[in-house]
Structure 1
Amino acid sequence: MTSDPTSLALGSHPWPHDDDTPVTGELTYRNSGTDAVTFPVSVEARGPHGEPAPAGLFTVTPTTVTVPAGGAATVTVTADTRVGGVDGAISGAVVAGDLLRTPVGVDREPESYDVTATFVDANGEAPSRHSGLVIGMDNDVFAFFDGEDDTARLRLPKGEYFAFGDVTTGDPEDGRTALLPRPVLVVAGPTALAFDARAAEPVRVTTPDPGAKPVLAEVRVTRAHEGSRVSIGSLFIDGFTDGLTLAGSDPDLPDDQLELVVATQGTGTPVGATPVHHRLAWVERGRVPTGFVRAPARRDLAEVRSHLGPAPAGHGYDLGAAPFGADGSGPMGVLFPVPTGGEAIDYVLGDGFRWRWLLSEHGPDGDSVADYSATDRTYRAGRTHEQRFRFPVFGPGLPPSSYDYLSRHGDVITAQVPLVNDGGDNLGWSVTESARATLHRDGQPVAEVPSASARFTVPPGAARYRLDLDLVRAPEVFDLTTRVTGSWTFRSDTVPGERSRKLPLSVVRFTPRLDADGGTPAGHLLRIPLTVEQQQGADNGRVHKVEVDVSFDDGKTWATVPVVGGAALVRNADRTGYASLRAKGTDSKGNTFEHAVIRAYKIG
């Protein structure tokens, strides 16, 4: 049995619907068999959110059909959009018994109105270039005002919208662009709005460094409404243009419903061989001002000095930072080249923001080989702050983080334990030569994967688990921390609900004082401070004792060393080479840990 056509589209019907005319479509069934077939015919359909179509919206006649052998029979399907109850795209199937389903659909427009937008340049004339869009705050509309004329129209459902336009005056190369946000656009009838550049005033940001060169700037407006959150912004390569302007919003809104972010990043005048950058960000809440002009003095900025560890010959670094608001969003950051083994100075302004830093390391071919990211940091104007990247010892660490290092959701255990954080406990990643993650449940293997991070599906119920990790870094890229191994035991039960549960996890960070190359003299007694870190939010016990071993033959043999006053005391070998370190312990709830760092530091 086949149908012709293979689907029925019964049109789109504009609001209002009290004068709609029912639309019909014919569907012919053809029987290629040798026997006549009789079957019932009906329509099953649902609205755009899965709700059943109201009775009477679709009808079919006749409701029972007999198709003769080798013959055909026709039914008529009717869509009557005067029948209310469901708006939008209503779709489903014409059901021929249990033989055949033929798709059918009709679009019943919800209460909607024409919205007319007019674009006006700074001279009161038609602009040389313009654009506009609207985003629904209480619906899923996303639409552009299309057309080259200075007037454009949209058909929009009744509701509340966030509209944004930009208008260019004169030659676009001159950069005379006006940003014209309309955070509140209520459509409850035929609506007209104007994107008028004459209402805008300049956007201008200068730094106290006359030699500063902007690289990237951004203006972003965010609107929140009844659980919806929408951001619209503009990026400016090489900074804000001289002719950029901004129009204010009306009316003012509560602080948690409207936010303007203005940000710029660029280079400054170097201090000798030390590069200088400016990273500035502002936030205005509850309104969008008309124009935005800022000229912070040096006393308004925080100075952030980044000390950068050495890297192999041919490697390079890029240092970036981006500001983030309380909701986790923020403007883009910029990565600037910085010297390996040197320093960088960043002047930061960003009250109301937390800053996230990233040091990216690339090899001679330009490919990334390692990243080190810093946890969110805040700064005070007029202060100098110090931070360190890519200094040893590299090894396991658990800095505060928005994601789980070891967790369970339902019966899935996820492991992503950081194994190569740097000495400043910046979250580390590096290319690897090999990696392996293995999980045991009550002594029996669950799975093994060729990665240092993994998701394991486990049987339901409570059990004791052991997680084993093994990561080997490429020796031609890294001469320190060439391998990291670790084992952790913990109990875990099925975690119901929508949220994952963090699992107990402890590590020990080794923080000895080493020279710039990660070395210390042969035969020297080295004090290695120990820092126990645990996954925040997990049911960890207290760690009262840590045992530490040292190896001078890359982990072939180990010797226990004394731990006094929270530090391990290691008598270095009398020859040049490397020292490897291993820590192990048990918390007060019976969870254990043991991890080793091969070639933790140099000797000689």
Structure 2
Amino acid sequence: MSASTARTRRCTCGRARTHWPRRSRTNDDANGLVDSYAFLGDPEITLTKDTTITYDARTAAEAKVTTQRPTERKGGSLTYGRIVDNWILASSRGYGTQVKSIYLGTTPKARRGTFEVVEGWQYGSPAGAKSPYLYSLAFTHEQQVKGRPDHRVRDRDLATIDATYYTPGKAYNYSEYVDVWRPWSINLIPTGDRGTVAAPTRVQHLVTAERDTKVSQMVGHADAMAWPFATLMTSTATAYKAGSRHSESWFKAGLRPGLVTDQATGLKYTPAGRDGNTVWSNFASWSDTEPGHFSRQGFLDLGGTELLADGVSLGKYGYYGQGVWHVPAAATNLELVYDLIRWQRGDYKWESPSTVETRWKWNSSAADAGKPLPLLFPDYDLAVDLNDRAPRIPAFPVSITAESGQWYKPGRFTSARVWTSYDDGTTWNQTPVVNLGTKAVALVNNSKATTFVTLKVELTDSNGKSVTQTLTRFYGIR
């Protein structure tokens, strides 16, 4: 850091006001690339006259991190948040390996509201490690920054997540992000830059374990398109306990439409509802078999919708699970259709499933105005290899359950029927099903399949709500 890093800021005030001045300072290397960041600021200053404030980055102290295991630094971030009188002012800067140092200037303690600065750090196992691991760490300075940050990390103070990365077909390099959430944050706080995971594989994650810090992860499958347009499978933000150990799977067979979680509250977003005599939908994209996982549509995830009233179509919409329809006020039998399609373009790696058609049936009237729709979302569990391939056996078990949001509790299954196709739905075979009430198990004859298995599942619960889901190329056969 050079002597030129002192900066002044002049504040002109016609009347007394409380301000929060702050400065993020970068330093460039010999090639003109940013190689360090410095943060300086003041949580609050009350000004009654024109004032010049000087921030000198030379007074900032370098933040340092030492991990228990051998590591290489992968990236990091620097985030601040200031919350006063229901206003949130926040900003994050993420960076990769080109940034070598982070400096923090000491600040006074905030007297009103919340003031936090969050350091994000990612350290990975050396190249060539037999069992790869990744530290994703967040260190929070609450109400003030002081001293010389020197973080000595021990594995016992973190949470461990043993992650398995499946692929819905061919080997693929996923994009990956690990983020945290503070009680005030309405958006994610990155712990580092975008990473890459060569799947199928297994990686051990070591993450921050604090009561007020939630951790979430996103894993993106983009196929032949650029990574910003990926299907970003996302985990529900969770506050972990120190020393706890967990397992998590990504893109395991059983992919189907799911429900999105509000990361701030932990509640499910409403995917469809009725307002007056209008029914609307805003369906999410794929969910895999890991509880709490969800994704929104990438550019390759097309989702058409249609609503029928007493068997008559009220209109179709072409993309991204959205639609709005006017419906009769009187009690009417409604059927809502959602076609989720994975667009197979170019040298695609995502092979299964290719499409999922979901049809919900229920009776509705104007009395249901202002309520979410009581929809059942099937969920599946099946034993596959890391390429989502199942064995060629005559009685392959596929477990089926149903979930919904906090607005509707599914009843026990009064009916559970399954059909199997080995030619992408041209012909169907009735499949034996064991109905256990809250779960059904289909015994699929995989010995008849050559490449993929397509399933049609029909569920009805004790409240009379039903769903029929057709999953084309649901899983492959090895």
| CA displacement 1:110-160 (0-9 Å, x = unmatched) | xxxxxxxxxxx99xxxx514556xxxxxxxxxxxx4xxxxxx353454322
The equivalent of 1:203 in structure 2 is 63
1:166-205 mapped onto 2 (5 Å cutoff): 178-191=38-51, 193-197=53-57, 200-205=60-65
- Of stretches 275-284 and 559-568 in structure 1, the one that deviates more from structure 2 is 559-568
1:198-597 mapped onto 2 (5 Å cutoff): 200-218=60-78, 220-232=79-91, 235=94, 237-238=96-97, 241-242=100-101, 244-250=103-109, 252-253=110-111, 257-270=114-127, 272-310=129-167, 312-313=169-170, 315-327=172-184, 328-332=186-190, 333-351=192-210, 352-363=212-223, 366=226, 370-398=231-259, 400-401=261-262, 402-409=268-275, 413-418=279-284, 420-425=286-291, 426-428=293-295, 429=297, 432=300, 435-458=303-326, 461=329, 464=332, 465-475=334-344, 477=348, 478-490=350-362, 491=364, 493=366, 501-534=371-404, 536-552=405-421, 553-558=423-428, 559-565=430-436, 566=439, 567-597=441-471
Counterpart code for 1:508: P
Contact 1:261 1:282 in 2 (8 A): yes
SS of equivalent to 1:128 = helix
SS of equivalent to 1:569 = strand
Task: Give, in whole Å, the separation in 1 of the partners of 2:427 and 2:168.
Answer: 29
Task: Give, in whole Å, the separation in 2 of the partners of 1:216 and 1:560.
Answer: 51
Task: Give, in whole Å, the separation in 1 of the partners of 2:147 and 2:249.
Answer: 41
Q: 1:495 Cα shift? A: 8.4
Task: Give, in whole Å, the separation in 2 of the partners of 1:431 and 1:304.
Answer: 30
Distance 1:371 1:214, change over 3 A: closer
Task: Give, in whole Å, the separation in 1 of the partners of 2:457 and 2:320.
Answer: 19
* TM-score between the two structures when normalised by the length of structure 2: 0.82
Q: 1:444 Cα shift? A: 3.8
Distance 1:434 1:238, change over 3 A: closer
Contact 1:197 1:247 in 2 (8 A): no
Distance 1:207 1:168, change over 3 A: same
Q: 1:423 Cα shift? A: 2.7
Contact 1:440 1:467 in 2 (8 A): yes
Q: 1:200 Cα shift? A: 4.1
SS of equivalent to 1:310 = coil
* TM-score between the two structures when normalised by the length of structure 1: 0.66
Task: Figure out how many residues of one structure are paired with residues of the other and give that number.
Answer: 455
Task: Give, in whole Å, the separation in 2 of the partners of 1:450 and 1:169.
Answer: 48
Counterpart code for 1:489: K
Contact 2:414 2:462 in 1 (8 A): no
Counterpart code for 2:419: V
SS of equivalent to 1:244 = strand
Greater RCO (CA < 8 Å, at least 6 residues apart): 2
Counterpart code for 2:456: R
Name the larger-Rg structure: 1
Structure 1: gaps (5+ residues): 1-120, 133-144, 146-151
Distance 1:445 1:290, change over 3 A: same
| CA displacement 1:548-582 (0-9 Å, x = unmatched) | 21222322333152224332233334453432222
SS of equivalent to 1:524 = coil
The equivalent of 2:265 in structure 1 is none
In the alignment, which of 128, 131, 143 is matched to residue 4 of structure 2? 128
SS of equivalent to 1:299 = helix
Q: 1:462 Cα shift? A: 6.1
SS of equivalent to 1:551 = strand
Distance 1:489 1:188, change over 3 A: farther
| CA displacement 1:475-534 (0-9 Å, x = unmatched) | 5633321221111134264888xxx74321112212122233333344521222222111
SS of equivalent to 2:287 = coil
Identity of aligned residues (%): 18
Contact 1:413 1:456 in 2 (8 A): yes
Q: 1:392 Cα shift? A: 0.5
| CA displacement 1:280-324 (0-9 Å, x = unmatched) | 102233333344221212322222222111355573222221111
| CA displacement 1:233-258 (0-9 Å, x = unmatched) | 555553765472321224x436x522
Structure 2: gaps (5+ residues): 263-267
Counterpart code for 1:303: T
Distance 1:232 1:502, change over 3 A: same
Task: Give, in whole Å, the separation in 2 of the partners of 1:248 and 1:289.
Answer: 6
Task: Give, in whole Å, the separation in 1 of the partners of 2:288 and 2:29.
Answer: 51
Distance 1:239 1:521, change over 3 A: closer
Contact 1:314 1:364 in 2 (8 A): no
Contact 2:21 2:41 in 1 (8 A): yes
